[in-house]
């Protein structure tokens, strides 16, 4: 018999979310997640995916994925440490290390898994982690899982980080102290102050961990935030995802050989969850080939990002302080933000509203993620729709 307690828990809480307008309705796409998407029979200009370089639909990668699937099958068959390590997993890790400029790399099934596995493989209850208050949910969960003391510092506030690092070090309570930051913060598009973070880390002997999910493919000619600042030899953990700019699925850590060897024996998602599918691994390898052969897509992404930013700013929208192609359009009040996003959608632009609790109350925004796959025509059309809806709602 089904649990009555569970039944009432679910029905009460689902009703509560729906009453508050917080229940997230998921719209399935009727085709690929490209610059134009189709939802419920309607075509929309897509400004909401993380497919920064447009690689999710890249033909070379599709072909590589098909060939690998034919050769190896659809599944890897086991976890990496039993017999689920295929030659293409090893090749992918070698490519990632070369791309990131590190001695070695380890691949995971997702960026989320990577943060769950990597942090807790090294940190424990005797340690402390200094974490930027805007770090991604998977970092927060990875930190919790490690049982280390979590010390949050104010977003990109280097005085606060220095003070907290000093207090943690001088307390003598912790065996190891780590500092963790996103490379690029996805809600505002700002870049972590890595040179200062590294300086503080060196002063207080901190382990450094950068999750570059939104910086890889986007900064440092594609190699990411760490490379952008020329700090490849100073960051211990370079984390990334294979699901955003790379366009597929998966995650990785790049770093020193000993670190990667340790993760291979201690990171639990690597040990206890089946490895990446052969098709995904092959597509990722091909993506790295594409990015190392040419910076064309990278340049197109920036050109499109700058174009959309300038267009929205010229129209009078508040686009915040983004330093990357991520372009928030800050509306403020939550309900108004939701209505704005809905009106954009009705007119032909898919740009999701992001409101509290994902961002602070009163800073609701519609977040735009232009990609290398958008044409100027698509962006002009999107800008015209922004202008129409913005004027209609008295925002500009
Ligand atoms: N880290 C950050 C900073 C992210 O934004 C995300 C994805 N939203 C992840 C990790 C998780 O990556 P994945 O989608 O590959 O699990």
For 276-307, write each residue's pLDDT tens digit: 999 999 999 999 999 999 999 999 999 999 99
Q: Which of 186, 243, 341, 371 is catalytic?
A: 186
Q: Do 231 and 361 fall into the same domain?
A: no
Q: Do 262 and 344 fall into the same domain?
A: no
Q: Is pLDDT of 27 > 90?
A: no
- Single residue among 259, 293, 327 that ends a domain in this structure: 293
Q: Do 222 and 120 fall into the same domain?
A: yes
Closest C-alpha to 239, from 136, 320, 337, 144: 136
Determine what percent of the chain falls in helix, strand and coil, rounding each to the nearest 5. Answer: 45, 15, 35
Q: Do 249 and 331 fall into the same domain?
A: no
pLDDT at res. 21: 74
pTM: 0.96
Residue 3 lies in a domain: no
186 CB near ligand 1 (under 6 Å): yes
- Single residue among 293, 326, 351 that ends a domain in this structure: 293
Q: Do 36 and 119 fall into the same domain?
A: no
46 CB near ligand 1 (under 6 Å): no
Query: How far is 153 from 177, CA to CA, in rounded Å?
Result: 14
Separation in Å, CA 273 to CA 79, 82, 107, 108, 370: 5, 11, 12, 9, 33
Say if residues 65 and 277 touch (Cβ distance below 8 Å): no
Q: Do 226 and 360 fall into the same domain?
A: no
Find residue 43's DSSP bridge partners.
38
Q: Confidence band (pLDDT; 50, 70, 90) for 78?
A: very high
Would you call 26 exposed, middle or buried from its count of C-beta atoms within 10 A (0-12, 13-18, 19+)? exposed
- Single residue among 266, 293, 320 that ends a domain in this structure: 293
Query: 299 lies in which domain range?
Result: 15-46+295-393
Q: Is pLDDT of 1 > 80?
A: no
Across all residues in the chain, what is the average pLDDT? Answer: 96
CATH of the domain at 156: 3.40.640.10
Q: Do 146 and 213 fall into the same domain?
A: yes
Rg (CA), the chain: 22
Ordered alpha helix ranges (H), 78-157:
87-100, 111-122, 137-146
Q: Is pLDDT of 23 > 90?
A: no
109 CB near ligand 1 (under 6 Å): no
How far from chain centre, in Å, is Cα 141?
15
Of ligand 1's listed atoms, the one at least distance from the Cα of 251 is 15
Strands 149-153 and 128-132, bridge-based pairing = parallel
Determine what percent of the chain is predicted with pLDDT higher than 70: 100
Total number of domains constituting the chain: 2
The residue whose two tokens read 């509306």 is 331
- CA 241 to ligand 1 center in whole angstroms: 6
pLDDT at res. 15: 95
Q: Is pLDDT of 25 > 90?
A: no
Residue 2 lies in a domain: no
- CA 369 to ligand 1 center in whole angstroms: 15
Q: Do 139 and 164 fall into the same domain?
A: yes
Q: Do 222 and 313 fall into the same domain?
A: no
Residue 7 lies in a domain: no
Q: Do 159 and 176 fall into the same domain?
A: yes
Residue 285 lies in a domain: yes
Q: Do 24 and 38 fall into the same domain?
A: yes
Q: Do 322 and 362 fall into the same domain?
A: yes
Residue 6 lies in a domain: no
Residue 51 lies in a domain: no
What average pLDDT score do residues 217-233 get?
Answer: 95
275 CB near ligand 1 (under 6 Å): no
CATH of the domain at 314: 3.90.1150.10
Residue 350 lies in a domain: yes
Residue 9 lies in a domain: no
How far from chain centre, in Å, is Cα 23?
23
Whether this model's ipTM surpasses 0.95 comes out as yes
Q: Confidence band (pLDDT; 50, 70, 90) for 22?
A: confident
- CA 159 to ligand 1 center in whole angstroms: 27
């Amino acid at each position: 018999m089904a649990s009555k307690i569970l039944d009432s828990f679910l029905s009460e809480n689902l009703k509560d979310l729906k009453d508050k307008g917080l229940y997230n309705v998921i719209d399935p796409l009727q085709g690929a997640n490209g610059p134009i998407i189709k939802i419920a029979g309607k075509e929309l200009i897509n400004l909401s995916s993380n497919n920064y370089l447009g690689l999710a639909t890249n033909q070379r990668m599709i072909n590589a994925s098909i060939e690998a699937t034919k050769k190896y099958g659809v599944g890897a068959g086991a976890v990496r440490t039993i017999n689920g390590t295929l030659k293409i997993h090893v090749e992918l890790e070698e490519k990632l290390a070369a791309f990131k400029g590190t001695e070695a790399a380890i691949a995971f099934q997702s960026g989320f898994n990577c943060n769950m596995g990597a942090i807790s493989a090294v940190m424990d209850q005797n340690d402390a982690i200094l974490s930027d208050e805007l770090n991604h949910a998977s970092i927060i969960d990875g930190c919790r899982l490690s049982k280390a003391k979590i010390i949050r510092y104010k977003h990109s506030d280097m005085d606060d980080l220095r003070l907290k690092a000093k207090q943690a070090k001088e307390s003598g309570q912790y065996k190891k102290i780590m500092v963790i930051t996103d490379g690029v913060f996805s809600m505002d598009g700002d870049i972590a102050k890595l040179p200062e973070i590294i300086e503080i880390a060196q002063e207080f002997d901190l382990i450094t961990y950068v999750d570059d999910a939104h910086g890889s493919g986007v900064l440092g000619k594609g190699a990411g935030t760490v490379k952008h600042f020329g700090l490849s030899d100073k960051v211990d953990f370079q984390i990334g995802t294979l699901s955003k700019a790379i366009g597929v699925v998966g995650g990785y850590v790049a770093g020193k050989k000993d670190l990667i060897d340790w993760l291979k024996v201690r990171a639990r998602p690597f040990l206890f969850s089946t490895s990446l599918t052969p098709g995904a691994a092959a597509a990722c390898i091909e993506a790295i080939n594409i990015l190392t052969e040419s910076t064309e897509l990278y340049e197109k992404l920036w050109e499109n990002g700058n174009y959309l930013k300038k267009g929205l700013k010229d129209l009078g929208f508040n686009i915040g302080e983004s330093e990357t192609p991520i372009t928030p359009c800050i509306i403020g009040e939550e309900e108004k933000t939701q209505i704005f996003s809905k009106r954009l959608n009705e007119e032909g632009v898919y740009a999701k509203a992001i409101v509290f609790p994902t961002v602070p109350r009163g800073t609701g925004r519609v977040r735009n993620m232009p990609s290398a796959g958008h044409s100027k025509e698509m962006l002009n059309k999107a800008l015209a729709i922004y202008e129409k809806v913005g004027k209609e709602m008295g925002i500009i």
